[in-house]
Structure 1
Amino acid sequence: MALNVGEVVAGYTIESVLGAGGMGTVYRAKHPTLPRSDALKVLSAELSQDEQFRVRFLREADLAATLDHPNIVAVYNRGKTDDGQLWIAMQYVAGTDADKELRDKKMTPARAVHIITEVAKALDFAHRRNILHRDVKPANFLLAENDERIFLADFGIARAVDEAVGLTQTGMVMASVAYAAPETLSGEGVDHRADIYALGCSLFRLLTGKTPFSSASGGMAAVAAGHLSKPPPRVTDEAPHLPAALDTVVAIAMAKDPSARFRTASELAAAAAAALNGEATTPVQRPPASGTQQWSTTSRPPAPSHAGPPFPPGPPTGSAALTYPTNYDSGPHARTAVAGQYGTPNAGQYARAASGPSTPPTRSAPPNRGGGNKKRWGIIGAVAAVLLLVAASTTYFLVGDAKPDYQPQTFDHAHGSTELSAAPTAVAALGAGDADAVLTLGLTPVAITAPNGKVPSWLEDKLGSATVVSFVDTAAIAAAKPDVIIATGDIDDATYQRLSTIAPTIARPSQSGEWNWQTQLKWVGRILGRESAADQKIKSVIDQQTDLKNQNPAFSGKSVEAVTVSDAGVAEMLTPSNAADYLEGLGFRYNDDLRRKPTDTGAARPMPETSAVFRIKTDVLIVIRSDAAAGGGGFGGLPNEFKSYLGTMVIVDNPDTVAALAEPGGVLATDFLNGNLVPDLARQIK
C-alpha cells in the first residue's frame, strides 16, 4: 500500500516520494524528533511477506548500518509498518546523482575523475570490512550541491563476504547488467574486484556518455556477452580528445580475470587522475575479439603510494548470490548517450597527453580455469540468466522466449494490404512511437527515424547499432536489411511504394479509430506475433500509474492544462492526447474545454494570439518548451502574457521529457516520465 503525504510511519511523517519501482518506494520523511528529513525506503507488501526477501532486506540494513564513512549514505534505523511492510531510514541527500548530471550535459572529465575518486574511498572502506556493494553505477553516486560531498548510495545488494553462502540462490544476477563483472554474470564467486570492475565501467560511462558494449545489437543479452567475451572498450574510440592513457586504466579495471584488475578502488582512481593529467601515457593493446571467454592479464603501472595491501581473497568459487536488489530508489537506470553530446567537452578542451610511441604492455596466456567447454557452457548459461533477469525488470522490456508459433496474417492498412508468413526478426520502425513499441516487445529495430536524428535517452541505450535517420531515407533503410518495415506515421503513397520494394511494409491500420500508444502497441504486437505481451505491458503501465496516483494525492482533482511553446508560437494540448492522458492517469482533471473537435487536425490547437493565455484558469499549467530560449527549467523568453497566470506553472524543457510527452507516447516514454516528470510535479504541486 502506498503511503500518502502527511501519513506517519514509526514516527516519520511522509513529505514526498523520491522514487518508486517494483521492489517498493522511497519517501522523503520528517524525522520524529530531529529537525531533518530522512530517506525512508519501504519494501512492497508482497515482498515483505516473502521470508527470503525479509532476511535479505534486514541483512541489508544491518550491513549498511555498520558503514560509517563520509562518502557513504548512512543508515539510521529499520523496522516495519503496522501493515507489516519493512522499512529502512537512511540519510537524505539533497542534490542530484552523477548519471543525471551526465544526461544534463554537466559532466566534464575532471569532474568525472573527482567523483570516481570519492566513490573509491567509500568502496575501499566497505571492502576492508568484507562488504560488497554489488550495484556500483553512476545513478548510485549522489552529489550534494556543488559536489561539496559525494556519496555512494544503495548498498542494497551488499553482503558480508564471509556470510554469503547461506543466503545464495544459484543462477541469479542482481547487479545492473551494464556494469556487471564477468564473474557475476557467469555464476562464479565474486569478491571486491567485481565492484572495481563496475567502477571501471562507471568511469567509462562518465567519460564517454556510453555504457560499455552498448553499441552492439542484440539488447541486454549482447551487453552481457560483451562483458563476458569482448575486450574492454577504449575511451578514445568515443572521446578521441581524451588521453590514450585512460584506455589503459579502463582496460585494467575491466580485465576479464579479476586478478588482473586494480587491487583497490583508490588505485583505479589514482591511475585515472594520473592519466587525465598527462602523467601516464602508455596505450593499451586491444586483445582480439572472440566468441568465447578470454581471460587475460594486463601489466599495471606502479601502484600509488597510498594504495594499501591487497584485500583478502573472496569466498570459494561458486554460484552468484541472490541478494536484495534496490535499484529502484537511486535514480534512473543507465542510459546510453551520444558521444560528444553528453558530458564530453569539445575537442581540444583537454589536451591529449603528448607522448611518443610506446611498447604495449604484455599479456600473459589465459590461465586454465576449468576447461574450454565448461567455460563456454558457463557463458551460455550466464546470458540465459541475464535474459531471465532483464525480462523481470520494470525498466528493460524484454519478452520471454516461450512464444506461440507465428500464424500467417494479412494486415489491412492505410496503403493497402500486406501479408506476413513468418515472425519478423529485423524490423525497421519508422513511425513516431514505432521504435518504442518494438523495443517494448523485446525486439531491437535495425533502423528507426528520429527528429533531427536525435534519439531520446530512454530509447538510445536499447538501440545498439540500429541505423538512425532523420527522414525516410530509403537507401539507408535498405542498407539495414529489414525483413519488415513498420511505418505508422504519415507517409504518402510514393514513399510507401519505395519502402515496399525494400521489405513488406505495414502502415497504420485502415480502421484505426483513436490512435494512441496503446492501440499502436497492440498493432505492433500483432505484427510481431506478441499480442499477449502487448496486453501485459499495457496493464503494467496502468498499474504503475495507479501507484503513482496513490502516492501523490496532491495531484488528485486538480485542474490542469498543457501548452506547447515553440518558435512557431503557442498551442494548447487537446484531450485525448498523450500529454493529457498521462496527466489524467496521475489524478489530474484535464481542461474539458480542450476536447478535440472535428475541425482539429492534430493533438494541439494553435493559439491565434498569446493574449489567450489570460483565459487559462486551471490549477496547474504545464508549459512544454522547445523554443530557442528554452533551457534550465526557467521562465526566460516566455511571452509576457504567461506572467498573468495565477496557478502553479510547471516548465518542461528537458528535450527527453518533451519527446516523451509527444504523440503518441509509449511504454518506454511513460516509464521515463514516471521517473523524471513525476518527481518534478511532486516538488512543485502541493
Structure 2
Amino acid sequence: MHRRLSVAVTALAASLVMGVSAACSAPAEDAETGSSASAEPGALPVTIDHRYGTTTIDTAASRVATLGPGDADTLLALGITPTTMVPFSDPTEKTVVTPWNKDLLGENRPVILAGASQDLASAVTKAIATNPQLIVAVNNAVTQNVYDNLAKVTDTVVRPAQYEDWQVPWTASTTEIGKAVGKPEETQKLVAATQQKFADAKAANPQLAGRTSAVVIGSTGGGVDIYSPGDGRGQILTNLGMTFPASLDNTITNGFYGSISDENLNLLSGLDKLVVTDYAGSTEKLKANPAFANLDVVKRGDVVYVDAETGSAMSVPTVLTIPWVLDKLVPQLAS
C-alpha cells in the first residue's frame, strides 16, 4: 500500500466490551509464539510512559500481540515471535513473511491482522483471541477508547506522547518495545548496529549530506501524495543526512502526508533528489503525466523509483527493514 490514511476506530469501544470475555476464552489455533519469556536481570518490573499514561509490566510476557506494522520486527530481532502481526503493505495481504523477516519467522505463522493500519476495529478482537500477556501498538493510531478497552484485557503500550501517529522515530519505537519485553540492553545494541548502517552509508556517500529530498507516490486523482520528514519514508532520507526543504512544509496537511496537484508539481522541481514509491501501477501512470515529466528534477534524472515492496519497507523503518532498504536505496540515491 502503504498510504496509511486516517484510521477510524471510534466505533470499536462498544464491540470490544461485548467481545472481550469471549475473545479470551481460547487462543487462535494458528497463533504461534516461539517467544522467549526471559528478561534481562533487573529489567522488570518496568513502567512505560506513553500517550495515554503509563503501563507497568511486572513479568516477562511469553505471548505478545502486535497491532502496528513494524512492531513485530523489534520482537523478532529480540528472539520473540508475536502471536499477531500487521502486514506492511496491502490490507488484503495473506502473509506477513517478507524478505527482511523470513529467516527470523522460520516456520512460525502469527495471526495476520490484515487491514489493521486502516481499520483497527477489524483487528483488535482477533488479537485478543490469541490470549496475549502484552499488547504492543506503538506503530498504529490508537484512540483513548481503544486503549482503555485493551488495557482492561492485559498490559498495553502505545506510542510515546511526544510524537504524532505514524511519526514515531524508529529509535523511539524500538527502545519502547525493547523495554516492555524486558530486554533494554539487547535492544540498544540493535539500535546502535542499525545507526551504524546509516553512519556507514553517509561516510561512503558524503555527497548526500544536506541535499534536499522528498518521497512521493502518484495519486489516483492526478498529482502526487507527499510524505513528511517524520513519516517513515521521510525518516530514511533524513537519517541519511538529507533534508526536507522548508518550501514544501505547507504541502503536509494531513499529519504525515499531503497532496500536490498537477498545477503545483513545480514545487518539486528544485529538489536535489526525488524518491517515487509505487503502488498498484501508480508509478507508470505518474511517468506518463506531462506535468511530472517536465519537472527539472525528472529531466535531470534525479528521480529514484522504488517498487512497492521497498516502499512498504521504507514506510515503517525498523531494525530489520532499514538494512534491507539501505542496500537497495542508497546506491540509487548516490548515483
TM-score where L is the length of structure 2 = 0.72
How far the C-alpha of 1:666 sits from its partner, in A, is 1.4
Contact kept, 8 Å, 1:621 with 1:650, in 2: the verdict is: yes
Contact kept, 8 Å, 1:446 with 1:482, in 2: the verdict is: yes
* Paired position in structure 1 for 2:147: 496
* Paired position in structure 2 for 1:467: 111
> SS in structure 2 opposite 1:457?
coil
How far the C-alpha of 1:532 sits from its partner, in A, is 2.1
How far the C-alpha of 1:520 sits from its partner, in A, is 0.8
How far the C-alpha of 1:636 sits from its partner, in A, is 5.9
Contact kept, 8 Å, 2:82 with 2:110, in 1: the verdict is: yes
Query: CA–CA distance in 2 between the matches of 1:432 and 1:530?
Result: 20
Larger Rg: 1
* Paired position in structure 1 for 2:159: 508
How far the C-alpha of 1:480 sits from its partner, in A, is 2.0
* Paired position in structure 2 for 1:433: 70
Query: CA–CA distance in 1 between the matches of 2:32 and 2:254?
Result: 40
Contact kept, 8 Å, 2:248 with 2:267, in 1: the verdict is: no
Contact kept, 8 Å, 1:652 with 1:658, in 2: the verdict is: no
* Paired position in structure 1 for 2:202: 549
**Structure 1 spans left out of the alignment, 5+ residues:** 1-214, 220-398
| Equivalent residues in 2 for 1:61-72, closer than 5 Å | none
How far the C-alpha of 1:660 sits from its partner, in A, is 1.7
Query: CA–CA distance in 2 between the matches of 1:510 and 1:615?
Result: 33
> SS in structure 1 opposite 2:85?
strand
* Paired position in structure 2 for 1:421: 58
Give the direction of change, closer, same or farther, for the CA distance of 1:497–1:643 in structure 2 (3 Å limit).
Answer: same
Aligned Cα root-mean-square deviation (Å): 3.1
Q: Does 1:408 align with 2:55?
A: no
Query: CA–CA distance in 2 between the matches of 1:437 and 1:595?
Result: 31
Query: CA–CA distance in 1 between the matches of 2:267 and 2:329?
Result: 26
Per-residue CA deviation, residues 508-553 of structure 1 (Å, 9 max, x unaligned), is 2334577211111111122112222222222212211121122234
* Paired position in structure 2 for 1:524: 177
> SS in structure 2 opposite 1:561?
strand
Give the direction of change, closer, same or farther, for the CA distance of 1:530–1:636 in structure 2 (3 Å limit).
Answer: same
Which residue among 487, 511, 529 is the counterpart of 2:137? 487
How far the C-alpha of 1:425 sits from its partner, in A, is 2.0
How far the C-alpha of 1:216 sits from its partner, in A, is 7.1
Contact kept, 8 Å, 1:522 with 1:534, in 2: the verdict is: yes
Higher RCO (CA < 8 A, seq sep 6+): 2
Query: CA–CA distance in 1 between the matches of 2:92 and 2:83?
Result: 15
* Paired position in structure 2 for 1:452: 91
Contact kept, 8 Å, 1:561 with 1:573, in 2: the verdict is: yes
* Paired position in structure 1 for 2:26: none
Contact kept, 8 Å, 1:487 with 1:506, in 2: the verdict is: yes
Contact kept, 8 Å, 1:496 with 1:505, in 2: the verdict is: yes
Query: CA–CA distance in 2 between the matches of 1:506 and 1:556?
Result: 35
How far the C-alpha of 1:618 sits from its partner, in A, is 1.4
| Equivalent residues in 2 for 1:165-204, closer than 5 Å | none
Contact kept, 8 Å, 2:33 with 2:62, in 1: the verdict is: no
Q: Does 1:610 align with 2:265?
A: no
How far the C-alpha of 1:674 sits from its partner, in A, is 1.5
Per-residue CA deviation, residues 25-73 of structure 1 (Å, 9 max, x unaligned), is xxxxxxxxxxxxxxxxxxxxxxxxxxxxxxxxxxxxxxxxxxxxxxxxx
* Paired position in structure 1 for 2:24: none
How far the C-alpha of 1:476 sits from its partner, in A, is 2.2
> SS in structure 2 opposite 1:432?
coil
Per-residue CA deviation, residues 206-261 of structure 1 (Å, 9 max, x unaligned), is xxxxxxxxx97538xxxxxxxxxxxxxxxxxxxxxxxxxxxxxxxxxxxxxxxxxx
Give the direction of change, closer, same or farther, for the CA distance of 1:566–1:427 in structure 2 (3 Å limit).
Answer: farther
Contact kept, 8 Å, 2:304 with 2:333, in 1: the verdict is: no
> SS in structure 2 opposite 1:523?
helix
Give the direction of change, closer, same or farther, for the CA distance of 1:500–1:653 in structure 2 (3 Å limit).
Answer: same
How far the C-alpha of 1:503 sits from its partner, in A, is 2.5
Aligned partner of 1:218: which letter? Answer: G
Aligned partner of 1:678: which letter? Answer: V
Aligned partner of 1:490: which letter? Answer: A
Per-residue CA deviation, residues 97-135 of structure 1 (Å, 9 max, x unaligned), is xxxxxxxxxxxxxxxxxxxxxxxxxxxxxxxxxxxxxxx
| Equivalent residues in 2 for 1:202-601, closer than 5 Å | 218=34, 403-450=40-87, 451-454=90-93, 455=96, 456-463=98-105, 464-470=108-114, 471=116, 472=120, 473-488=123-138, 489-512=140-163, 515-567=168-220, 570-595=224-249, 600-601=253-254
Give the direction of change, closer, same or farther, for the CA distance of 1:547–1:590 in structure 2 (3 Å limit).
Answer: same
Query: CA–CA distance in 2 between the matches of 1:550 and 1:419?
Result: 41
> SS in structure 2 opposite 1:667?
coil
Query: CA–CA distance in 2 between the matches of 1:414 and 1:588?
Result: 29
Query: CA–CA distance in 2 between the matches of 1:414 and 1:636?
Result: 38
Contact kept, 8 Å, 2:39 with 2:181, in 1: the verdict is: no
Query: CA–CA distance in 2 between the matches of 1:621 and 1:423?
Result: 44
Per-residue CA deviation, residues 150-187 of structure 1 (Å, 9 max, x unaligned), is xxxxxxxxxxxxxxxxxxxxxxxxxxxxxxxxxxxxxx
Give the direction of change, closer, same or farther, for the CA distance of 1:530–1:638 in structure 2 (3 Å limit).
Answer: farther
Give the direction of change, closer, same or farther, for the CA distance of 1:572–1:533 in structure 2 (3 Å limit).
Answer: same
How far the C-alpha of 1:483 sits from its partner, in A, is 0.9
Give the direction of change, closer, same or farther, for the CA distance of 1:417–1:652 in structure 2 (3 Å limit).
Answer: same
Query: CA–CA distance in 2 between the matches of 1:438 and 1:643?
Result: 43
Aligned partner of 1:639: which letter? Answer: N
Aligned partner of 1:611: which letter? Answer: E
> SS in structure 2 opposite 1:485?
strand
* Paired position in structure 1 for 2:328: 676
> SS in structure 2 opposite 1:540?
helix
> SS in structure 1 opposite 2:81?
coil
Query: CA–CA distance in 1 between the matches of 2:60 and 2:39?
Result: 14
Contact kept, 8 Å, 1:573 with 1:594, in 2: the verdict is: no
Number of residue pairs matched by the alignment = 283
TM-score where L is the length of structure 1 = 0.38
Aligned partner of 1:586: which letter? Answer: L
Query: CA–CA distance in 2 between the matches of 1:439 and 1:568?
Result: 38
Q: Does 1:658 align with 2:311?
A: yes
* Paired position in structure 2 for 1:73: none
> SS in structure 1 opposite 2:101?
helix
